[in-house]
Amino acid sequence: MKEIDAKGLACPKPVVLAKKAITSNQEVLIIVDNQTAASNLTKLGKKMGAEVSVVEESETEFRVMFKKTKSTDSENADSESETSGAKIYLIPSDTMGDGERELGQILIKGFISTIKELDPLPEKIIFLNSGVKLATKEDIIFYLKELEEQGVEILLCGTCVDYYELQEEVGVGDISNMFEIADNLNRGDVVTI
């Protein structure tokens, strides 16, 4: 079994280390020091088709165990090919444009409320920096939930959510990590809003 101490490492380093280790080892134990990192590792394990469990949890340490299954490599290859070329919207701000803030807030709400009318819909919407604040606003959450129901994946930068201390306020989407975000942007047709 491979053991990796990733305590104190910033996102996405624990995920990157885990991905490399899972690829070349049958069992991997990753130790991290926060819940967000443990959640990101769990998500990675599921995406890669590995059995994953948090085997120990305390205030300062989370031990996440990965066990490779026979289908791990083939499922990972299938999931990677699925996202290739997909339309992805990247929203790095809680406003649209560089003009007056109030106008930018009106524009971003109008844009998000209009996405559901598009054909085809984007596969994913990724929120970074102050863009994650949009997942806490009731008048925006309504539209984002509609998009999720129609199959659009909503991803929020976990580092950004933590930075703005919005963990308890997020009302829609999945908390992600920079590795997953970079991987999606690398595979898709990205439109930055």
Kindly state whether residues 95 and 21 are assigned to the same domain: no
Query: Taking Cα atoms as reference points, which of 125, 117, 115, 95 lies closest to residue 107?
Result: 95
φ, ψ (nearest 5 deg) of residue 30: -110, 130
β-strands 62-67, 27-32: how paired? antiparallel
Query: Between 13 and 160, where is the model more confident?
Result: 160
Peptide bond into 14 cis (omega under 30): no
Q: Identity (one letter) of the amino acid at 139?
A: D
Kindly state whether residues 13 and 67 are assigned to the same domain: yes
Q: Angle, to 10 degrees, between the axis of helix 138-149 and the axis of helix 101-115?
A: 20
Percentage helix, strand, coil for the chain under 3-state DSSP, each rounded to 5: 45, 25, 30
Kindly state whether residues 88 and 16 are assigned to the same domain: no
Kindly state whether residues 94 and 46 are assigned to the same domain: no
Q: What is the domain-level CATH number for residue 130?
A: 3.40.1260.10
62-71, 80-89, 175-184: which range is least confident on average? 80-89
Q: Is 56 helix (H, G, I), strand (E, B) or coil?
A: strand
Query: Between 133 and 27, where is the model more confident?
Result: 133
Kindly state whether residues 137 and 114 are assigned to the same domain: yes
Residue 24 domain boundaries: 2-80
Query: Taking Cα atoms as reference points, which of 119, 108, 120, 128 lies closest to residue 185?
Result: 128
Is residue 130 scored above 70 in pLDDT?
yes
Is residue 35 scored above 90 in pLDDT?
no
Instruction: Report the C-alpha gap between 152 and 168 in whole angstroms.
Output: 23
Q: What is the domain-level CATH number for residue 76?
A: 3.30.110.40
Kindly state whether residues 118 and 72 are assigned to the same domain: no
Confidence of residue 81 (pLDDT cuts 50, 70, 90): very low
Kindly state whether residues 153 and 96 are assigned to the same domain: yes
Q: Helices in 69-164 by DSSP H: which ranges?
A: 72-83, 101-115, 138-149, 158-163
Report the predicted TM-score, pTM, of the whole model to 2 decimal places: 0.73
**What is the percentage of the chain residues whose pLDDT exceeds 90?**
61
Tally of domains in the chain: 2
Q: 127 has which bridge partners?
A: 91, 156
Q: Which residue has the tokens 């990675």?
A: 44
